[in-house]
Structure 1
Amino acid sequence: MNLFEDAPAPAPSGNQPEYTVSELSGAVKRVIEGEFGLVRVRGEVGRVSRPASGHLYFDLKDDRSVIAAISWKGQVAKMQVRPEEGMEVIATGRMTTFPGQSKYQLIVEDVAPAGAGALMAMLEKRRAALQAEGLFDPGRKKPIPYLPQVIGVVTSPSGAVIRDILHRLRDRFPRHVLIWPVAVQGQDCAAQVAAAIRGFNALEPGGPIPRPDVLIVARGGGSLEDLWGFNEEIVVRAAAASRIPLISAVGHETDTTLIDHAADLRAPTPTAAAELAVPVRLDLLATVESLSARLLRGLSQGHQRRDQRLRDLARALPRLDALLSGPAQRLDLWSGRLSGALGIATARKRTVFERAARLRPEMLASLIARRQDALHKRASDLDARFDRRADARHAAFDKWASRLAPALHRLIAQTQRQQTEGRAKLATLSARLDAAPAARFADLARRLDALDRTRTTLGYTETLRRGYAVIRADGHVVTTKAEAAKAHVLEIEFHDGRLTAGGAPARKAKPGDRPEQGNLF
C-alpha cells in the first residue's frame, strides 16, 4: 500500500504571498531607491580599485560600518577631486542594490573633501611625495632671462589676469606675448595647463611660431577648491620638466599651490609676474645715459692725463744739439780718415792685379782644354739622358695609343646605344602626348555628363514627375493657402505643361457678363 497515494497537498501556513528570488530582489531595489533617491554620505575612503574599464570602485567607512561605492567612467571624468585611500570625503549619489551579490551600494556622482582640513592634509601628503622625488629642489631651478624677446602666458583669455599682465608689460617694456588659453578652474584645468606648458616647450627655436624665452602661468585669487587644479600632480610634473624658465603667479600673495614650488620663480600676483619678467624700459634708458656720461667723462679725463704725461716726458728729454753733437763729431773724424783709406785700398788692389797679369799663354790654353773636355763629357751625358727619356716617352705613347682605339670604339657604341634609347623614349613620349588630349577630353566629357545627370536629377522637374506641382500667382511661387486665396490668377505647372486657373473669389456676376474660363474653383 502506497502511503502517499492519496495524501492531500500541504496547506499554506497563513495568507502571506510567495515571492520568487528575482521578485523579492526587485522589491528591495525599488524600496531602497525610492527611500534614498539622492543622499550625501560622509566617511573615510577605504579600498580603491581602478580597473581597465575606467570605472572606480571604493569603500566608504566609519568606525562601525562599510558601504560599497561605485563611480561610472563618465562620472569619474567629471570629478574635480578623485577619492584616495585614507581621505575623508562627502560623497553625493543614489542608493541601489546589486541582486547578483545580494548587497546594496552607493552610485557616487560627485566627491568632495570633508572640509578644508582634509584638502590640506591631502595637499601636504602630495607635496611631501613630490618633494621626495626632488621636483622642488632649488638646484634645478633655472634663472629668468633679464630681457626676454618672447613671453608665453598660460591663463584664461577672458579674465582680468591677462589684461593686467599685458598692461604691466606695455608700461614697463613692451614684448611679444603668446597666449595659450586654458581653463583655470574646474575638472579640465589641470590637463589643459599641463598641455599648454608641454606645448610651449615643444616649439622649435627659429620655427614659424617663436619659442618663448620665459613662461608665466597665471590665475587670480580664489578658494583652495578653486585653485586645486594647480595642485594636481600632472601640472607640477609639467612645470618641473619645462626647459623654458617658468614663473608661477597663481592666486594672491597669501595663496600657495604646488606649482609655486616646482616653478623657477614664484610671483605673489600676476601683475608682479609681469614685473619680474621684464625690467623697466625707462630705468634702462636712464642707466644707459648715465653710463654713457661716465664713459665720456672717463675718456676726457684719460686724454687729459695722457696729455699731461706727454708734456712731462717732453720736458725730461735732452736738447737736440746735445743729441747730435756726438754723432757729428764721429762723422767728422771718419770723414778725415776716408781719403787716406781710399789711397791704401787702391794700392792693394793694384798689387793684386799686377800679380795676376803675369799669367802665361800656356796656362790659359791648358785651362781652356780642361774646360772643353768637361764640356764634351757633359754633352755626351746629356745626349744619353735625352735618348733614354725619349725612349721612355715613346713607350708610354705606344701604350696609350694601344688603349685609344678600343676606348674610341666603346665610346662610339655607347653613343649609338644612348641615341637608340633616346629615340625610343622620344617615340613613347610622343605617343603619350598624342593620346593625352583625347583621354583628357573623354574624361571631361564623362564628368560633364555625370554633372548634367546630377543637375537633372536634383532639379525640380524630376520632383514634378512624382506627382507634385508648382503654383505661381502673378509670376511668383506661392507656398501657402492664404497667398493663393489673395491671387487673381493662378498658374499650375505639372511635369507635362502648365494650366492657368482663377484665384480669389470672383466678384458677383452681373447680367450680361461672360463667365470666366479656366476657373477650377
Structure 2
Amino acid sequence: MDEKPSNAAEFTVSEISFSIKRTMEDAFGYVRVRGELGRISRPGSGHIYLDLKDDRSVLSGVIWRGVASKLKIQPEQGLEVIATGKITTFPGQSKYQMVIDALEPAGAGALMALLEERKKKLAAEGLFAEERKRPLPPLPRVIGVVTSPSGAVIRDILHRIDDRFPLHVLVWPVRVQGETCAAEVANGIRGFNALQPGGPIPRPDLLIVARGGGSIEDLWGFNEEAVVRAAAESGIPLISAVGHETDWTLLDLAADVRAPTPTGAAEIAVPVKAELMALVDDRSRRLNSGLVRFVTTRRTELRAASAALPAPQDLLALPRQKFDNLASGLGRALIVSTRAHRTHHQNLAGRLSPVLLSRLTSKARQDLANHSERQQRALHVAVAQKRQAFAALAVRLTPARLAQQATLGKERLTGLTDRLDRAYLSRVGQEKTRLDGLQKLLKSLSYKDVLARGYAVVRDDEGQPVRSAAAVASGAALSIELADGSIDAVAMSDSATPKPAKPKKSGPGKPARADQGNLF
C-alpha cells in the first residue's frame, strides 16, 4: 500500500533537541525560582547537581564549579532558597534544567532553621563542650587578631590594648563577609597555630577573631563548619568577638571565651597596666613591711638565745686543757712507740738472716725433689695397674667370647621359656580341676536341687525364710519359692483347714481348674 505524501518537515534528533533548547532559552532568559533543595550531588569535577522542588514539581539544577566556589551559603538538603539563573535543556538526556548563577536563602527563617540544625550537629560531636574550653593567659606577650585590616574593628582593638597594656599584636588579614570569609578565617586560626615557638614570627599566646555587627547574612561566614572546627581544634586560647552583644554565631559557642564586642575582647585579653603596677607596688610595700617585722622578731629571739648561752672561753676551757695534757704526753709516747718498733724489727732481722734463708730454701728444695720422685713412682705403678686391668678386660671382651656368651644366654633363655610354658599349663590344669570340684560341692550343698525334687521355700514379707508355722500370723504376706519361680500367698487362720483335694487333670499336660480349692 502506498503511503500518502506529507508536507511536514523532517528533523534529525539533534536538530529538534537544539531547536527546543534555543526556544526555552529565548522564552525564559534569566529567572528567579524559589523552592526547597532536594537531592544534592557533588562529583569530583567540582560542579554541584541539585533538585529544586515544591509540593507538586521538581526542577533539576546545576551550579558550575566556578560559581560553586563563590556561593555565600553552601546548598544543604531541606533548605529553602531562591535560585537565580537561566532555564536550558540537556539534549543528551532530553531533559530541561536550570543553570544557577546565584543562590540565597529564602528569608531569615530558613537561615535560622539551617543554623539550628548545624548547631545540633556540631554540639553532638562535642565541639561546644565546656570541658574543652581552655583558660586565657593572665598576661599574654603576643596577641593574634584575625579580622579585616581596613575596618574600624582592628583600630578599636589596638587602641584599647594600647590604653590598657601595650604589647605585641599580630594581625592576620581576612575578609569578614562574602563567599571566601569562612575559608580565610579558618586559615587564619590554623595559620597562627602553625607558628612554632621561638621562630622568626612569634607565636601568639591568645587569639581574637573579631568583626563588627551586621545581619545574619553578613555574619553567616562565622557559622560555617570550617570556622567552628578550626576554633575547636585551636591549641591557642581563642576569644570570639563577632558582632554586637545581641549577635551570636556558632563561633561564639566553639571559642574559649565570647566577648560582647571587639573592644570588650581587648579588655578581656589584657589587664590595665596601671592597676597591675598599683597592685605590684601595694604588694611590694606589704612584702617589705613583713620582711622588716620578720627580721626584727628574729633579731630579738637571737639576742635572747645568745644571752642564755655560756661565754665562748668557758666552752673551750675544758677541751683546751685536754689538748694540753695530750700534747705533753705525745713526745714520750712517740719515743716509746719508736723503741718498740725498733725491737720488733731487730727480732725479725735476726730470724731473716741470709744463712737461715739459704738453709730453709735448700731444705724446701730437697723436700720438693723427694715428693717429685715419690709421685713419679706412684704414677708408674698406677699406670701399670690400669694397663694390666685393661688387658684383662680386653681378653674377656673379645668378639668370640662375646658371641659365645650370647649363644649361651640364648640357649638358657630358650630353656627357661619351655619351662615357663609347661609350668603355666600345669598350673592351669590344677586350677581347673580344683574349680570343678568346688562347683560340684556347691551344687550338692545348694537348696536349688532340693526345690527341683518338689520342695518349696516359704519367706515372709521381709524376705526371711519361715522356719515355724507358729511364727506366721493370720493374714501375713508370704512368698513361696519353687524350682521354676516364686508365687505370692496370704496365710490363713491357724484353725483346722480342710485338706485340699488333689487337682484333677483334664488331660496330659493340662493344669487343674482354678475352682478346685486353695492350699492357703
Same fold (TM over 0.5): yes
- Amino acid in the other structure paired with 1:18: A
> Which residue of the partner structure matches residue 122 of structure 1?
114
Report the Cα distance in structure 1 between the residues aligned to 2:128 and 2:172, rounded to whole angstroms.
25
Indicate the SS of the match to 1:195: helix
Report the Cα distance in structure 2 between the residues aligned to 1:367 and 1:95, rounded to whole angstroms.
132
* Cα distance, 1:370 vs structure 2: 5.5
> Which residue of the partner structure matches residue 439 of structure 1?
none
* Cα distance, 1:102 vs structure 2: 2.7
2:289 is the counterpart of 1:294:
no
2:301 is the counterpart of 1:309:
yes
Alignment equivalent of 1:278, drawn from 237, 249, 270: 270
Query: Structure 1's 365 and 296: CA in aligned 2 closer, same or farther, altered over 3 A?
Result: closer
* 1:424-448 per-position Cα deviation (integer Å, ceiling 9, x unaligned): xxxxxxxxxxxxxxxxxxxxxxxxx
Alignment equivalent of 1:51, drawn from 43, 47, 66: 43
* 1:138-178 per-position Cα deviation (integer Å, ceiling 9, x unaligned): 22222211111111111111001111111111111111111
- Amino acid in the other structure paired with 2:57: S
> Which residue of the partner structure matches residue 204 of structure 1?
196
Query: Structure 1's 8 and 299: CA in aligned 2 closer, same or farther, altered over 3 A?
Result: closer
> Which residue of the partner structure matches residue 10 of structure 1?
5
> Which residue of the partner structure matches residue 185 of structure 1?
177
- Amino acid in the other structure paired with 1:10: P
Query: Structure 1's 148 and 319: CA in aligned 2 closer, same or farther, altered over 3 A?
Result: closer
Report the Cα distance in structure 2 between the residues aligned to 1:144 and 1:133, rounded to whole angstroms.
24
* Cα distance, 1:30 vs structure 2: 3.3
- Amino acid in the other structure paired with 1:59: D
* Cα distance, 1:232 vs structure 2: 0.9
TM-score normalized by the length of structure 1 = 0.59
Percent of aligned positions with the same letter in both sequences? 60
2:91 is the counterpart of 1:91:
no
Query: Structure 1's 365 and 295: CA in aligned 2 closer, same or farther, altered over 3 A?
Result: closer
* Cα distance, 1:224 vs structure 2: 0.8
Report the Cα distance in structure 2 between the residues aligned to 1:229 and 1:260, rounded to whole angstroms.
13
* Matches for 1:110-509 after TM superposition, within 5 Å: 110-313=102-305, 368=350
Report the Cα distance in structure 2 between the residues aligned to 1:365 and 1:39, rounded to whole angstroms.
135
* Cα distance, 1:297 vs structure 2: 0.9
Report the Cα distance in structure 2 between the residues aligned to 1:378 and 1:165, rounded to whole angstroms.
108
Indicate the SS of the match to 2:69: helix
* Cα distance, 1:308 vs structure 2: 3.6
* Cα distance, 1:253 vs structure 2: 1.3
2:101 is the counterpart of 1:106:
no
* Cα distance, 1:26 vs structure 2: 3.9
Report the Cα distance in structure 1 between the residues aligned to 2:184 and 2:79, rounded to whole angstroms.
26
Query: Structure 1's 39 and 9: CA in aligned 2 closer, same or farther, altered over 3 A?
Result: closer
Count of aligned positions: 349
Report the Cα distance in structure 2 between the residues aligned to 1:365 and 1:299, rounded to whole angstroms.
75
* Cα distance, 1:292 vs structure 2: 0.8
Report the Cα distance in structure 1 between the residues aligned to 2:278 and 2:348, rounded to whole angstroms.
99
Report the Cα distance in structure 2 between the residues aligned to 1:122 and 1:8, rounded to whole angstroms.
63
* Cα distance, 1:18 vs structure 2: 3.1
Indicate the SS of the match to 2:136: coil
TM-score normalized by the length of structure 2 = 0.60
Greater Rg by CA? 2
Report the Cα distance in structure 1 between the residues aligned to 2:177 and 2:108, rounded to whole angstroms.
17
Report the Cα distance in structure 2 between the residues aligned to 1:22 and 1:367, rounded to whole angstroms.
137
Indicate the SS of the match to 1:78: coil
> Which residue of the partner structure matches residue 69 of structure 1?
61
Report the Cα distance in structure 2 between the residues aligned to 1:274 and 1:179, rounded to whole angstroms.
14
- Amino acid in the other structure paired with 1:227: L
CA RMSD of aligned residues (A): 3.8
Report the Cα distance in structure 2 between the residues aligned to 1:292 and 1:304, rounded to whole angstroms.
18
* 1:470-496 per-position Cα deviation (integer Å, ceiling 9, x unaligned): xxxxxxxxxxxxxxxxxxxxxxxxxxx
Query: Structure 1's 221 and 369: CA in aligned 2 closer, same or farther, altered over 3 A?
Result: closer
* Cα distance, 1:85 vs structure 2: 1.0
* Cα distance, 1:35 vs structure 2: 2.9
Report the Cα distance in structure 1 between the residues aligned to 2:53 and 2:165, rounded to whole angstroms.
57
